[in-house]
Structure 1
Amino acid sequence: REVVHIVLNETVFHPQGGGQPSDKGTIGGIQVDKVTLDRSTGVVTHTGIKVDDSSSLPSPGDMIGLKVDACLRRKLSECHTAGHVVDAAMAKCGLCLPPTKGYHFLDGPYVEYRGTIVSSERADVLEKLSRTFTILLEENIPTKIEMMSKIEADRTCNRLAQNFDFSDHPEETVRIVTVANFPCPCGGTHVRSTGELKESRWGIKGIKCKRGVVRIKYDQL
């Protein structure tokens, strides 16, 4: 099969980034398996294979139809949103540790924070976090997405702890996603409310601490 790379003037595909894998779908007769963003140029590249040998490849200036795999997009949006609920549960439990990494892939998602939780307290923390996570889903809190100035974003996202640095952000505005009343900078896709995660049975699965990093694992239970 011929591998094809396509650049469009605009796209509905979400590229991989921010801990979230890219969308998949089709562009004409091309099965798109990966979408990447070059942050230095802003160019989004769609990579896939030509599955319809009878059709020709698009030429510059052509109009072409795009179709995102809606089922996969939904699962990835749920997974990413659940990661934000982990952040909110951590904050509500008084664990305002700086986040360092979010892995919102479907093969074992987790969120990592800088710090530690002493071993004798981990079981209690896990139980409290799990209970708080469940309560946040039951409250069916709407997701809110806003564009803010860097000053406003700093004031909004760092009200509990100085966890986010906006000084190096290349643009004057920042996309802020608020999930379960916890705001943070994010470019990913999300579901409309925390209640939608309850229907899909998302929850916290475990805690792992190693070398100054706390990893909170979550998944569909």
Structure 2
Amino acid sequence: MKTEKLYYQDPYLGRFTASILHKGKDEQGQFYVVLDQTAFYPTGGGQPHDTGTLDDIEVYNVVEIDGKIRHYLNGTLDKDQECVGEIDWERRLDHMQQHAGQHILSAAFEEEYGYKTVSFHLGKELCSIDLATDLLTKEEALAVENIANIIIIENRPIETRWVTKDELIHYRLRKKVSVSQNIRLVIIPDFDYNGCGGTHPNSTGQVGSIEILHWENHKKHTRLYFVCGKRVRHQLHEKHQVIQGLTAILSTPQEQLIEATKRVIEQTRELENTVKDLKLQLIDYEAASLMEKYTNQIGFRLIEQVFENRTMPEIQQLAKNITAKSTNTLVFFVNETIDKLQIVCACGSDVPMKMNQVLKQVLPRINGKGGGTDTIAQGGGEKLVTGKELMAELVKELD
């Protein structure tokens, strides 16, 4: 026996009584019940399922399988005959507003610019449609948003009608229906005729308003994000809080926020460049200091240094600076952090050694990985020894 769909008879029905036809568990061991009738809308047609309670037990998922609607519960029903169901009305109304808003928006895009809607997603916070165009302008989006909100202000009726396949010729459908039986049309007279199995309010005015947020290219289409009804107020409140916070931080009125933000970004870039230049100067000074500290040994100069918590780019640059200034200098750097060791080996052109080979010999000592060229190599691994012990291993390679 199939479940009677009360949500089609009255989408505003929030509480109902039903007889229990079946109780069971699915393949994942999740408990569900099937009722003779229900106001719970199951997932389908781009619209998420309703939630609520059956005899005060939470209904967290609703799916339709072969005409039978399963209500998944966080608990079990002891009764075998009747139960009382109650849907989460705020969630249902939200879904009705978003779904009807999508119909209005899609019809407006197609009517005004010929852009068909190829898919629809009703998300928890945002909704989106994919439009069959790879280019959407701000002027087009604003024009469609205005048309959609005029349709809402006019408070046109939203009708539903069950028709046969042969009766479809009497309607100017926005797209072909996907079924041949039990065809349900959602109609906004003289504006939109569309096959749909979702829930909708009985007039466009109850959608409240539609706000287009932004859009992006997606697989040769345009994915457009929007909100309707209560979500518009939520977005307005959220964005107002952000703007108020920025006006306080930047000490700038709302209408000047963009220019103020641009100035801050530009100043930040200038400061970052200054810091970068100063770091390079410090590294150059450090390179000169290390070259003075170490003198020639066995035909070339060996500079060995163990650092703590330096960045790899810094010590790599330091090694490059040294070997660029002195062709007969060999550099061994070890950087020690809380949980790992890092190595940089570098040499000038007059040093008869291959840095990638030296690194390869010591990396197994720390279960490390790395690589490089004959003149500079780098790697890292686990902190299985101290930085000084690893340096000793590197120096041994000179013997």
Give the shorter-chain TM-score range.
0.7 to 0.9
Q: 1:176 aligns with which of 145, 165, 185?
A: 185
Give the corresponding residue for 1:217. 225
Q: Structure 1 CA distance, aligned partners of 2:170 and 2:115? A: 16
Give the corresponding residue for 1:109. 127
**Paired positions, count:** 200
User: What 5-or-longer segments of structure 1 have no aligned partner?
Assistant: none
Q: Structure 2 CA distance, aligned partners of 1:152 and 1:24? A: 35
Q: Answer yes or no: is the 8 Å Cα contact 1:204–1:216 preserved in 2.
A: yes
**1:77 Cα offset (Å):** 0.8
**SS at structure 1 position matched to 2:137:** helix
Give the corresponding residue for 1:156. 171
Q: Structure 2 CA distance, aligned partners of 1:72 and 1:137? A: 20
**1:189 Cα offset (Å):** 0.8
Q: Structure 2 CA distance, aligned partners of 1:27 and 1:213? A: 42
Q: Structure 2 CA distance, aligned partners of 1:151 and 1:72? A: 36
Pair 1:36-2:36 in alignment? no
Q: Answer yes or no: is the 8 Å Cα contact 2:115–2:133 preserved in 1.
A: no
Q: Structure 2 CA distance, aligned partners of 1:192 and 1:117? A: 34
Q: Structure 2 CA distance, aligned partners of 1:50 and 1:29? A: 10
Worse-superposed segment, 175-184 or 80-89 = 175-184
Root-mean-square deviation (CA, aligned residues, Å) is 2.2
Q: Structure 2 CA distance, aligned partners of 1:133 and 1:191? A: 16
**1:170 Cα offset (Å):** 4.6
Amino acid at match of 1:12: A
Q: Answer yes or no: is the 8 Å Cα contact 1:4–1:50 preserved in 2.
A: yes
Give the corresponding residue for 2:107. 88
Distance 1:144 1:165, change over 3 A: closer
Q: Structure 2 CA distance, aligned partners of 1:165 and 1:26? A: 33
Of structures 1 and 2, the one with the larger relative CO (CA 8 A, separation 6+) is: 1
Worse-superposed segment, 71-80 or 205-214 = 205-214
Distance 1:208 1:154, change over 3 A: farther
Q: Answer yes or no: is the 8 Å Cα contact 2:154–2:204 preserved in 1.
A: yes
**SS at structure 2 position matched to 1:64:** strand
Give the corresponding residue for 2:198. 188
Q: Structure 2 CA distance, aligned partners of 1:191 and 1:165? A: 21
**SS at structure 1 position matched to 2:74:** strand
Residues 48-85 of structure 1, C-alpha deviation per residue, up to 9 Å, x if partnerless?
Answer: 2128xxxx5232xx011111111211111111111111
Q: Answer yes or no: is the 8 Å Cα contact 2:148–2:210 preserved in 1.
A: no
**SS at structure 2 position matched to 1:103:** strand
Give the corresponding residue for 1:130. 145
Give the corresponding residue for 1:208. 216
Give the corresponding residue for 1:73. 92
Q: Structure 2 CA distance, aligned partners of 1:124 and 1:151? A: 40
Q: 1:9 aligns with which of 24, 31, 36?
A: 36
User: Equivalent pairs: percent with the same residue?
Assistant: 22
Worse-superposed segment, 86-95 or 9-18 = 86-95
**SS at structure 1 position matched to 2:207:** helix
Q: Structure 2 CA distance, aligned partners of 1:154 and 1:208? A: 36
**1:104 Cα offset (Å):** 2.0
Q: Answer yes or no: is the 8 Å Cα contact 2:165–2:180 preserved in 1.
A: no
Q: 2:159 aligns with which of 144, 149, 153?
A: 144
Amino acid at match of 2:176: F
Q: Structure 2 CA distance, aligned partners of 1:85 and 1:155? A: 20
**SS at structure 2 position matched to 1:106:** coil
TM-score using structure 2 length: 0.47
TM-score using structure 1 length: 0.81
User: What 5-or-longer segments of structure 2 have no aligned partner?
Assistant: 1-28, 233-399
